[in-house]
Amino acid sequence: MTPSTLQASILRHLTFTVGKDAPHAVAHDWRMALSHAIRDQIVEPWFASTRRTWDEDKKRVYYLSMEFLIGRILEDATINLGLYDAASEAMAALGQDMRAVIDDEPDAALGNGGLGRLAACFMASMATLGCRPMATASATNTGCSGSISTMAGRSRRRKTGCARRIRGNSRGRKVPIPSVSRATSRRAMAARSGCRRKP
């Protein structure tokens, strides 16, 4: 993909996906437009990988984790696709600093511990080895939201919203979890631990 072609794709997404015109776009708008343009280059290989898996009757590795500390992914995806130089040139032609646009990306809210980072490393390693990994995490309304990935098409769900978010609701399953109030939860924990609040 040439810088001019990528530039046209960024402008198209800025206008029709983000809903902004160039003179009034801020860093977040440019980042989302660039992310969509980069994602366009990921989707077809993702589909091709999935078709190949089915055609060859290959197994997939499904990795279930409560956390995935994947970190910022826009720069990583751009480099992996061999489009970093083209993207930098395209953004410069649009009057934007590539570094500033990339630095605008927040960290994905999919975990906050070492196990989340370990899970992300496992996924990256399996993708590198061609193991066709699929990851999934719980999606809750109380903390880190979850979702999943493969880099023959990586898709991520984040609390902050993301251009790479591709939802697969048709295959999702809801798991009912009884809601417990914070007060009730504290009383239950105190009872289990044998602690009692002083009068």
pLDDT-derived band at 117, boundaries 50, 70, 90: confident
Q: Does a structural domain hold residue 84?
A: yes
The average pLDDT across 43-51 equals 87
The average pLDDT across 155-162 equals 37
Q: Please tell me the predicted confidence (pLDDT) of residue 147.
A: 38
Q: Does a structural domain hold residue 179?
A: no
Residue 166 scores a pLDDT above 90: no
Residue 53 CB-density burial (10 A; 0-12 exposed, 13-18 middle, 19+ buried): middle
Q: Does a structural domain hold residue 67?
A: yes
The average pLDDT across 50-72 equals 83
Q: Does a structural domain hold residue 198?
A: no
Residue 187 scores a pLDDT above 70: no
The average pLDDT across 54-71 equals 82
Q: Does a structural domain hold residue 193?
A: no
Closest residue by Cα to residue 73 from 6, 129, 10, 123: 123
**Buried-state track 176-187, b at ≥16 Cβ within 10 A, e below 16:** eeeeeeeeeeee
Q: Does a structural domain hold residue 184?
A: no
Q: Please tell me the predicted confidence (pLDDT) of residue 161.
A: 37
Beta bridge partners of 133: 61
Question: pTM of this prediction?
Answer: 0.68
Residue 104 scores a pLDDT above 90: yes
Taking only the tens place, the pLDDT of each residue in 133-143 is 777 765 544 33
Is pLDDT larger for residue 89 or for residue 185? 89
Which H/E stretch holds residue 64?
A: strand 61-64
Q: Does a structural domain hold residue 8?
A: yes
Q: Residue 54 sits in which domain range?
A: 3-166
Q: Which of 49-53, 69-73, 94-98, 185-189 has the highest mean pLDDT?
A: 94-98
Q: Please tell me the predicted confidence (pLDDT) of residue 152.
A: 36
Q: Does a structural domain hold residue 191?
A: no
Q: Measuring CA to CA, how many Å separate 41 from each of 77, 80, 153? A: 10, 11, 9
The average pLDDT across 17-24 equals 96
Question: For all residues of the chain together, what is the average pLDDT?
Answer: 76
Does the CA dihedral 27-30-36-42 come out positive or negative? negative
Q: Give the rounded percent of residues in the chain with a pLDDT score beyond 70.
A: 66
Q: Give the rounded percent of residues in the chain with a pLDDT score beyond 90.
A: 37
Number of domains composing the chain: 1
Supply 156's token pair.
């991520």
